[in-house]
Structure 1
C-alpha cells in the first residue's frame, strides 16, 4: 500500500513535468496548481476517516470501506466532465485546475492498483482489480518506504538542477 508521501510526490512530479516540459503555460497553470494536484491525490483515502467513524459505532471492518467507492473511476470522470465544460467555455485556468485534480485522483487509484486491489467501477460493479505487487506485510511496507525515499531524493535532485532550491535554504 503506497503511503501518503508516495501519492503526493507522484502527483507533484507528474503534474510539474506536464507544466514545465509539455504545457509551458505558466499564466494559466500557476505553481500552486501543482500543490493542489498533490492534495487531490489524497482524496481517495478520505474513506479511511469514514472507516474510523463507522468502526467506532458499528464495528465495520476496514476491508468493507477502504479502496471501494472512493477509489472508483467515477471521481476522475466527474472532474474530467468539469474540465470538458471549462474547455467549452474557454476557461484555461479552470480547465487546467480540473485536469490537475483528475490527474491526482487517477494517479492515486493507479498506485493502489499496482500494490493491491481497488474497486474502480464502483458503484456499478464490485469487481476488484489490481496487480498486488507488494504484500500488505512488514516487507511490503519496507519496500514502499524505500520507494518513497527514492522518489523523494530523485525529485529533490531534479528541483536542485532545475530550480536551484539550495539557494533558498
Structure 2
C-alpha cells in the first residue's frame, strides 16, 4: 500500500490541492452570495459590475444600449438598439469559471510569485473575455435570435472554456513545478 501511495503521490497531491482549493473558494463565493436576497430580486455587486461593463462595451456598437435592473428576478436586463436582448444573472458573471481556473493553477502550483501573478493575469483575461462574450452574444442575438440556444449554450461557452484550457496548458507547460521537472529531464 505504501508503494502504491508513493507511486501515485503526485496525482494524489494534485487531486488534494485541487479539491481543497476549489472547496474553499466555492464556500467563500457562496458566503458572498448569501449576503444578497435573491428572492427579492437583489443582484450581487459583481454581477451588477459585469452588466455595467457589458453595457459599456455594447455602447461602443450602439449608443442606444443600456441596462436596467430586472424587477421580478435577480438579474440585470441588457438592451441593445433599445431592444431587450438578454439578462445577466449570477451565473453569467464568470466567477465560477475563475474559481475553477484558480483551483487548477493552485493544484499545479509553481513558485509562489509566478503562481500568484498567473492567477491574477488569468482572472483578468477571463473577466475581460466574459464581458466581451456577453456583449457579443447580445449583438449576435439581436441579429440572429433563432440561434439563441447554439450561441448561448455551445459557441460562447466553448470560447471561454477554450481560453481557460489554453491558459492551463500554458501554466502547466511553462510555469508550474511540473514544467520545471519536465524541462530538467
TM-score tier, shorter chain, comes to 0.3 to 0.5
- TM-score, with structure 2 as normaliser: 0.31
Query: Could you say which structure has the larger radius of gyration?
Result: 2
TM-score (norm 1): 0.33
* Higher normalized strand content (fraction of residues): 2
Q: Which has the higher contact order (CA 8 A, sep 6+)?
A: 1
